[in-house]
Copies of this chain bind each other. A is one copy, B any other.
Amino acid sequence: MAKTNTGRFFEDYRLGETLHHAVPRTVSGGERALYHMLYPARHALYSSDQFAKNSGLPASPLDDLIAFHIVFGKTVPDVSLNAVANLGYAQGRWLAPVWPGDTLRSQSEVIGLKQNSNGKSGVVYVRTTGVNQRDETVLDYVRWVMVRKRDLDAPAPETVIPDLPKALTPDQLMVPTGLDFSNYDFTLAGEPHRWGDYEIGEQIDHVDGVTIEEAEHMMATRLWQNTAKVHFDTSARPDGSRLIYGGHVISMARALSFNGLANAQMVAGLNGGAHANPCLSGDTVRAWSEVLDKAETSAPGVGAIRLRLVATKGGDPFALRGADGKYLPDVLLDLDYWALMPL
Residues of chain A at the chain B interface (Cβ within 8 Å) = 1, 3-5, 20, 22-34, 36-42, 44, 47-51, 60, 77, 100-101, 103, 105, 133, 187-191, 193, 197, 204-211, 213-216, 218-220, 222-223, 225, 227, 229, 232-236, 242, 259-262, 284
Can you list 13 pairs linking A and B with CB atoms under 8 Å apart? Answer: A3-B204, A24-B48, A24-B188, A26-B49, A28-B32, A37-B220, A38-B222, A49-B101, A49-B133, A208-B233, A209-B235, A209-B236, A211-B235
- Interface contact B219-A232, CB-CB below 8 Å: no
Asked whether B209 lies within 8 Å of A232 as measured between CB atoms, the reply is yes
| A233 nearest CB neighbor, chain B only | B209
Q: Which residues of B contact A101 (CB under 8 A)?
A: 49
Please tell me which one of the listed residues B28, B227, B260 contacts residue A3 in the complex, with CB atoms under 8 A apart.
B260
Copies of this chain held together in the complex: 3
Bound Cα distance A223, B32 (Å): 10
**Contact A259 B4, beta carbon cutoff 8 Å:** yes
- Say whether B49 contacts A23, CB under 8 Å: no
Least CB distance from A204 to B in Å reads 5
A330 to B240, CA, bound (A): 19
Of the residues B197, B208, B235, contact of A229 by C-beta under 8 Å? B208
Contact A191 B5 (CB under 8 A): yes
| Contact assessment for B28 and A103 in the assembled complex, using a CB-CB cutoff below 8 Å | no
A54, closest chain B residue (CB): B24
The CA-CA distance from A261 to B5 in the complex, in Å, is 10
**CB–CB A210/B218 < 8 A:** yes
The 4 closest A-B pairs by CB, nearest first: A28-B29, A30-B33, A22-B190, A24-B48
Give A32 to B37 CA distance when docked, in angstroms.
Answer: 12
With A33-B30, A234-B284 as known contacts, state yes or no: A206 contacts B22, CB within 8 Å: no
Pick the contact of A187 from B22, B214, B223, B260 — CB < 8 Å? B22
How far, in whole Å, are A193 and B216 apart by their CA atoms in the complex? 33
- On whether A187 and B20 interact (CB within 8 A), knowing A30-B30, A32-B28, A216-B215, the answer reads yes
**Cα-based distance from A261 to B3 in the complex (angstroms):** 8
Given contacts A1-B205, A30-B32, A33-B31, contact A24 B38 (CB under 8 A): no
CB-defined contacts of A4 to chain B, threshold 8 Å: 204-207, 259-260
CA distance A39 to B33 in the complex (A): 16
How far is the CB of A23 from the nearest CB of chain B, in Å? 5
With both chains docked as a complex, state the minimum distance between the C-beta of A110 and any C-beta of chain B, in angstroms: 16
Chain B residues with Cβ under 8 A from A232's Cβ? 40, 208-211
Expressed in whole angstroms, the minimum distance between the Cβ of A289 and any Cβ of chain B is 9
Other CB < 8 Å A-B pairs besides A5-B259, A48-B103, 16 of them?
A4-B204, A5-B191, A20-B187, A22-B191, A23-B44, A23-B47, A24-B47, A28-B30, A37-B219, A39-B222, A50-B133, A209-B233, A209-B235, A211-B234, A211-B242, A213-B214
